[in-house]
């Protein structure tokens, strides 16, 4: 994973609550065996009509959404399936961060492991972000702050380990493999065999 | 005296390899890793790129379920029914298992099936285990008093390589279901009511323990239906303390402990219950006496009502968007909705008792004209057991399709889908937009409600089909 220290971008707003991972990447696109190229499929049924033409009223198809790499989403973003294809698709599409009042557990865990910065903010900040699409925001992972264009800086909380992994680009498999002595010892001393 | 602990805390503590700190999550040991073709290819690629073996093939249980067609497969060509991508994925799973020395329960094994159906049926799912799978419905296995949850593909790679995961300890949520269920009301109705009460994010960050006399009265298959949908309430895991019902279910199953090991396991399992005085972070109570059959009306499992209740009012944009998608109106009951497709199956309701319940309603009746009904066993074993009871004949005589085992229309990536605009009454777990096909409208319900709706041609109360 590449280190992520800070993000500066305009926001795009998807205010709907409970956007599930089926909306982010539909099951019919999960027959891939790689992580590549899923961005074209992100939010597919929201972006395209049956005949393949773009839905002009969907926010990501509007000119003002181009180059907006921070997604402001309604409460409980990423609920449902554990498919890691969801953060893969969002990253491949160009998103670097997603901000909501609540982000589903598995999606959040998957996102942070891939460098998609999943951030939970308070309701007041969230309301402001929902009401100000296209706002130019700065996310500082080290300081765990979001700077808003009006000069305010808002704190958010992030698990210390997830933050460290983002900042240093830590490969968590490597981290786990460094615990192999402990794992072997645990297996030997277990009172019962699984 | 030791501090009273919850069931979850006992199982968690028993698997901590390295304690969590402020800076680092716990290293948690995994006793059983179930894998399937859709969420593993990229994890095997990571192993290959790092020159790593699968650390514990003996604790890894691979099968094929998500992208497999539910028509008969005897050659590679038959797989193409579900599309080239799906066929390629199945073939790659077979190759990965061969390369990494894993015993795949695939075609020809007689044991292939949905990950969350075969684990329990083989007796591999046991009380006190940690069980994970790259599938969010892994919570199903919690019905046995296991700590079981879904993981992403990166984590699948972690478990394949190290048999461990990095995890923060979640909070606990007690869900008490008190009382006795009225006739015609099932476990599926209970869990839909629970999700309706706590909301689709009510369990986020928590492990649920289901307690109360309505829960202990359930069979193992009913308990699996309950725990299965924990994730639809936002909780990665749901658990039920093991008891005689659990132990009776497991005895004699091929992967359950045998002889002396069984004798040693049973007293250990009986310790796995929440101690008197242990506390949960949150608690809710549901009264079973007042429940009716439940159906969803919107586009998430928390948008649920009793079968005879009207669709509620709601003003915000997300609510209105859901009602527009479903083509339903506030103030009207769901029983007015005409049905196109009925699906009985999935890891929620694809076990023998579910097929029996559907067949009981179908017996001597006919699926309404214009309605397509698929009955899909959760595993090859469920299929064989149902056929031994003659249920396939009852189902086919009623005009429904009796299919091969798999995830089928629950996920719609295997050839089984509803068409745009069609209304599907489904025993699966998710009524998300497009889940069962682009533009398809899903109503979640119990097997009895699904079968009754197939006969009526509209969403129907199963209590009218005794």
Cα–Cα distance, B116 to B351 (Å, whole number): 10
Between CA B135 and CA B128 the distance in angstroms is: 20
B363: which residues sit within 8 A by CB, 6+ positions away? B394, B398
Cα distance between residue B127 and residue B272, in whole Å = 8
| Closest Cα in chain B to A77 | B201
State how far the Cα of B224 lies from the Cα of B379, in Å rounded to an integer: 15
Instruction: Please tell me the pTM assigned to this model.
Output: 0.98
- CB contact under 8 Å between B438 and A45, yes or no, is yes
* Chain A touched by B83 (CB under 8 Å): yes
A78, two tokens: 């990423």
Q: What is the pLDDT of residues A71-110, one digit of tens each?
A: 999 999 999 999 999 999 999 999 999 999 999 999 999 9
- Residues of B in Cβ contact (< 8 Å) with A115: none
Looking at domain A6-189, its CATH class is alpha beta
Kindly state the tokens that stand for B54.
């699968």
pLDDT value at residue B411: 96
Beta-carbon contacts of residue B197 (< 8 Å; ≥ 6 apart): B284, B286
Rounded Cα distance between A28 and B415, Å, is: 9
CB contact under 8 A, A22 and B85: no
Query: What is the dihedral sign for C-alpha B403, B406, B412, B414?
Result: negative
Q: CB of B73 within 8 Å of any CB in chain A?
A: no
pLDDT tens, per residue, chain B with 466 residues? 689 999 999 999 999 999 999 999 999 999 999 999 999 999 999 999 999 999 999 999 999 999 999 999 988 899 999 999 999 999 999 999 999 999 999 999 999 999 999 999 999 999 999 999 999 999 999 999 999 999 999 999 999 999 999 999 999 999 999 999 999 999 999 999 999 999 999 999 999 999 999 999 999 999 999 999 999 999 999 999 999 999 999 999 999 999 999 999 999 999 999 999 999 999 999 999 999 999 999 999 999 999 999 999 998 999 999 999 999 999 999 999 999 999 999 999 999 999 999 999 999 999 999 999 999 999 999 999 999 999 999 999 999 999 999 999 999 999 999 999 999 999 999 999 999 999 999 999 999 999 999 999 999 999 999 9
Task: Report CB contact under 8 Å: B205, A28.
Answer: no
- Rounded Cα distance between B433 and A45, Å, is 9
CA nearest to A16 within chain B:
B318
Contacts with B215 (C-beta within 8 Å, 6 or more apart), sequence order: B177, B223, B226, B240
- The ipTM estimated for the assembled molecules is 0.97
pLDDT digits (tens, 9 = 90+) for A155-191: 999 999 999 999 999 999 999 999 999 999 999 988 6
| pLDDT at residue A194 greater than cutoff 60 | no
CATH 3.40.50.300 fits B298-464, yes or no: no
**Domain B171-241+265-289, CATH:** 3.40.1060.10
A35 to B42: CB separation less than 8 angstroms, yes or no: yes
Residues of chain B with Cβ-Cβ distance to A34 below 8 Å are 41-42, 45
End-to-end CA distance of chain A: 33
Phi, psi (deg, nearest 5) at residue B114? -65, 135
Taking contacts as CB-CB distances below 8 angstroms, the residues of chain A near B164 are 176, 179, 183
Angle at B256 between CA B250 and CA B257, to 5 degrees: 120
CA distance B412 to chain A (A): 7
| pLDDT confidence of residue B2 | 83
Report the distance separating Cα B43 and Cα B45, nearest Å: 5
Residue B41 is predicted with a pLDDT of: 97
Which chain A residues touch B256 with a CB distance below 8 Å?
none
Q: Which member of A16, A82, A180 has the closest CB to residue B136?
A: A82
Residues 23-52 of B with CB under 8 A from A: 23-25, 27, 29, 31-32, 38-39, 41-42, 45-46, 50
Q: Looking at the complex, does the CB of residue B219 fall below 8 Å from at least one CB of chain A? A: no
**Inter-chain touch A27–B411, beta carbons under 8 Å:** yes
The reply to whether domains B8-167 and B298-464 share a CATH topology is: yes
Strand partners, A100: A120
CA distance B127 to B139: 13
B8-167 is classed CATH 3.30.499.10: yes
Q: Roughly what angle, to the nearest 10 degrees, separates helices B153-162 and A105-114?
A: 80
DSSP conformation letters of A23-34: HHS-GGGTT-SS
Q: What is the pLDDT of residue B162?
A: 98
Q: 10 Å Cβ neighbour count for B78? A: 15
* B205, closest residue in chain A (CA to CA): A105
Task: Give the domain ranges of chain A.
Answer: 6-189
Contact B164, A179 (CB under 8 A): yes
How far apart CA A7 and CA A132 sit, in angstroms, is 18
Structure tokens at A37: 């190229």
Rounded distance, CA B15 to CA B31, Å? 9
Residue A120: which region, alpha, beta or left (left: phi > 0; alpha: psi -120 to 50)?
Answer: beta
Judged by CB atoms closer than 8 Å, whether chains meet at B317 and A27 is answered as no
* Structure confidence at residue A29 (pLDDT): 96
Domain layout of chain B by residue ranges: 8-167, 171-241+265-289, 298-464
């Amino acid at each position: 994973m590449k280190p992520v220290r800070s993000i500066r971008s305009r926001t795009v707003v998807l205010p709907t609550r409970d956007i599930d991972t089926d909306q982010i990447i539909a099951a019919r696109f999960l027959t891939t065996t790689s992580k590549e190229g899923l961005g074209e499929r992100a939010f597919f049924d929201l972006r395209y009509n049956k005949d393949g033409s773009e839905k002009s009223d969907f926010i990501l198809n509007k000119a003002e959404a181009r180059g907006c790499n921070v997604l402001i989403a309604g409460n409980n973003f990423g609920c449902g399936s554990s498919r890691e294809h969801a953060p893969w698709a969002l990253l491949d599409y160009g998103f670097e961060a997603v901000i909501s009042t609540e982000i589903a557990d598995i999606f959040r865990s998957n996102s942070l492991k891939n460098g998609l910065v999943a951030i939970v903010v308070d309701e007041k900040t969230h309301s402001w972000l929902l009401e100000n699409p296209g706002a130019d925001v700065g996310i500082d992972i080290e300081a765990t702050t979001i700077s808003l264009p009006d000069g305010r800086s808002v704190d958010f909380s992030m698990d210390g380990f997830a933050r460290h992994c983002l900042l240093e680009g830590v490969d968590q498999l490597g981290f786990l493999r460094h615990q192999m002595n402990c794992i072997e010892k645990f297996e030997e001393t277990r009172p019962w065999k699984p | 005296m030791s501090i009273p602990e919850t069931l979850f805390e006992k199982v968690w503590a028993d698997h901590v390899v390295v304690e969590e700190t402020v800076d680092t999550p716990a290293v948690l040991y995994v006793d059983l890793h179930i894998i399937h073709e859709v969420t593993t290819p990229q994890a095997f690629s990571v192993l290959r790129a790092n020159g790593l073996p699968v650390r514990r093939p003996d604790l890894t249980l691979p099968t094929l379920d998500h992208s497999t067609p539910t028509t008969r497969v005897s050659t590679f060509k038959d797989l193409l029914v579900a599309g080239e991508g799906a066929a390629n994925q199945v073939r790659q799973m077979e190759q990965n298992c061969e390369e990494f020395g894993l015993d795949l329960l695939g075609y020809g094994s007689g044991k292939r099936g949905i990950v969350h159906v075969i684990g329990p049926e083989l007796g591999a799912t046991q009380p006190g285990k940690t069980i994970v799978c790259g599938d969010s419905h892994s919570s199903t296995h919690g019905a046995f008093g296991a700590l079981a949850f879904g993981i992403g593909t990166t984590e699948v790679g972690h478990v394949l390589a190290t048999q461990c995961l990095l995890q923060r300890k979640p909070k606990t949520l007690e869900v008490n279901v008190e009382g006795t269920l009225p006739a015609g009301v099932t476990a599926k109705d209970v869990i839909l009511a629970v999700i309706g009460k706590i909301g689709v994010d009510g369990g986020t960050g928590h492990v649920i323990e289901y307690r109360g006399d309505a829960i202990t009265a359930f069979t193992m298959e009913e308990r699996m239906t309950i725990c299965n949908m924990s994730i639809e309430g936002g909780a990665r895991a749901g658990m039920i303390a093991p008891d005689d019902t659990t132990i009776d279910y497991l005895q004699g199953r091929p992967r359950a402990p045998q002889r002396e090991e069984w004798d040693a396991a049973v007293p250990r399992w009986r310790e796995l219950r929440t101690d008197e005085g242990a506390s949960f972070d949150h608690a809710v109570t549901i009264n079973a006496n007042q429940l009716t059959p439940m159906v969803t009306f919107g586009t998430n499992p928390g948008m649920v009502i009793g079968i005879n209740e009207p669709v509620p009012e709601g003003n915000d944009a997300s609510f209105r968007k859901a009602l527009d998608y479903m083509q339903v109106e506030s103030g009207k009951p769901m029983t007015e909705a005409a049905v196109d497709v009925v699906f009985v199956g999935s890891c929620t309701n694809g076990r023998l008792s579910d097929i029996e319940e559907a067949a009981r309603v179908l017996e001597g009746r006919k699926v309404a004209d214009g309605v397509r009904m698929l009955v899909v066993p959760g595993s090859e074993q469920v299929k064989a057991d149902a056929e031994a009871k003659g249920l396939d004949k009852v189902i086919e005589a009623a005009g429904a399709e009796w299919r091969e085992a798999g995830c089928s229309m629950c996920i719609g990536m295997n050839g089984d889908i509803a068409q745009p605009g069609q209304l599907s009454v489904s025993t699966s777990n998710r009524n998300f937009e497009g889940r069962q096909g682009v533009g398809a409208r899903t109503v979640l319900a119990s097997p009895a409600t699904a079968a009754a709706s197939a006969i009526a041609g509209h969403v129907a109360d199963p209590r009218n089909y005794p």
